[in-house]
Amino acid sequence: MKQNGRFMVGLVGVAAVVTYLVWTGVSDTMVYYLTPSELIAKIDEDPTFREVGVKVSGRLVVDSHEQTPGSLEHHFVVHDLEDESVTFPVVYRRPLPDTFTDSPEMVVDVVLEGRFNDAGVFEAQTVLTKCGSRYEATPEELRT
């Protein structure tokens, strides 16, 4: 019985350590995943939210992408998936993924991680495009 008692202590110990790791891990590394509308609403409500790192999904505004010549500084504008009038500017200082193409025929959905700077521009740390491996066309597209 003494062994069993010690065992229970061990088991509870392992469970407690894992729970602690997960709990602190989540609270220290979690990121809000928002739409542009939600993000802007949150900032209106609480201006300090501007400082919080977030993940935002949005859609590239066609023809908004510009690259500063001779550098890797990319500027583009993202709008909300549902409400095209909600937009914000983004700056990204690394090579963009290949799937990021600014052309009128393409819809590019992006997931950005980063925060707003003082100038009100979203400083993206990572840019992911969402079309990724999805290549399922509608019948209409296949007609061409």
Partner 1 sequence: MNVLGELALWIALPVSLWGMVLGFAGGRKQRGDLTLSAERSVYAVFFLTIIASLGVVDAFLNDRFEYWYVANYSSRNLATYFKVSGLWAGQRGSLLFWLLLLSLFATIAVWSNRRKNREFMPYVAGTLLTITSFFLVVLLFADVNPFETLGFTPADGAGLNPQLQNYWMTIHPPTLYLGFTAFTIPFAFAVAALLNGRLDSRWIVLTRKWTLLSWFFLANGIIFGMRWAYEELGWGGYWFWDPVENASLLPWLTATAFLHSIQIQENRGMLKVWNMGLVILTFLLTIFATFLTRSGLIESVHTFAQELKIAFIFLGFMASILMAGLVLVLYRLPKLKSENQIESFVSREAAFVFNNLILLGATFAVMWGTLLPLISEGFTGQEITVGPPFFNRVNLPIGLALLALMGIGPVIAWRRASKKNLKKNFLWPLVVGVVTAAGLWAAGARHGMALLTFGISAFVMAIIVVEFWKGTRARARIEGEGVVKAFYHLVARNRRRWGGYIVHVGVVFVFTAFAAAPWYGEFLQTLEPGETMTAESPLGHTYEMTYEGISTNIRDPDKNLQWQATALVSVRRDGEPLGTFTTEKRRYIRPEAQIVTEVGIKSFPMEDLYIILADADLDRILQGDAGGQAVTFNVLVKPLIAWIWAGGLIITLGSLISMWPSAGAVRAPTAARGRGTTGAEPLPAGD
Q: Which residues bind partner 1 (CB under 8 A)?
A: 3-4, 6-7, 10-11, 14-15, 17-18, 21-22, 25-26, 28-34, 55, 70-72, 94-96, 98-99, 101, 106, 111, 113, 128, 130-137, 139, 141-143
Task: Count how many Cα atoms sit within 13 Å of the Cα of residue 66 in the half-sphere of its side chain.
Answer: 6
User: How many whole angstroms separate alpha carbon 71 and alpha carbon 37?
Assistant: 31
Exposed/middle/buried for 54, CB within 10 Å: 0-12, 13-18, 19+? buried
Question: From the CB of 61, what's the least distance to partner 1, in Å?
Answer: 19
Nearest CB to partner 1, comparing residues 70 and 118: 70
Contact 123, 115 (CB under 8 A): yes
Question: From the CB of 127, what's the least distance to partner 1, in Å?
Answer: 12
Nearest CB to partner 1, comparing residues 105 and 118: 105
